[in-house]
Amino acid sequence: MKKVIEIVDVIDTAEVYTELSDAKSGDICVFVGAVREFTNNEEVVALEFETYKTMALKEMEKIADSALEKWSLNKVVMRHAVGEKGVEKPVVIVGASSAHRDACFEACRYLIDTLKETVPIWKKEKFKNKSVWISAHP
């Protein structure tokens, strides 16, 4: 299968190599987003992700399709986690494989940047005494 598009409870980062590798791909590029312990010197306890799943999957499909059009890619993976995730846990993984590295490097950057702009997923930062929806307010 050329594309893997999923929203899951838990991301297993070990799966992605098998999903992206194939005989025609000399190069594989993967981006993983994880939970960072500090935001502006404040300790983060966890991130909580919520999604409008039917729409999020549609938007992720569009991004993957447009990457497959823009670059010569063999396989594309886009997977986002939902629910509460603690520090160091993976929350998003995107990747692409291609014959040569320029295509998969550029595609990988495009996949994550566009996901952050258009896919209906929301992140709440949970601190010890408060929680904040990210990017909601100026």
Partner 1 sequence: MNVLFFGITKDIVGSSEISFSDEFKPLNVAELKKQLIESYPEFSKLNSLAVAVNSEYADDSVPLIGNEEIAVIPPVSGG
Least spacing, CB of residue 54 vs partner 1, in Å = 5
| C-beta closer to partner 1: residue 28 or 82 | 82
Cα dihedral: 108, 112, 117, 118 (round 10): 90
Residues at the interface with partner 1 (CB under 8 A) = 33, 49-52, 54-56, 58, 80, 91-92, 112, 115-124, 133-138
- Closest listed residue to residue 121, CA positions, set 76, 78, 68: 78
Least spacing, CB of residue 101 vs partner 1, in Å = 23
| C-beta closer to partner 1: residue 44 or 92 | 92
SS3 89: coil
| C-beta closer to partner 1: residue 13 or 54 | 54
Count how many Cα atoms sit within 13 Å of the Cα of residue 70 in the half-sphere of its side chain.
18
With both helix axes pointing from N to C terminus, report the angle between 101-118 and 53-70 in degrees, rounded to the nearest 10: 150
| C-beta closer to partner 1: residue 18 or 135 | 135
Least spacing, CB of residue 2 vs partner 1, in Å = 22
Least spacing, CB of residue 19 vs partner 1, in Å = 19
Residues with Cβ < 8 Å from 36, sequence gap 6 or more?
A: 44, 87
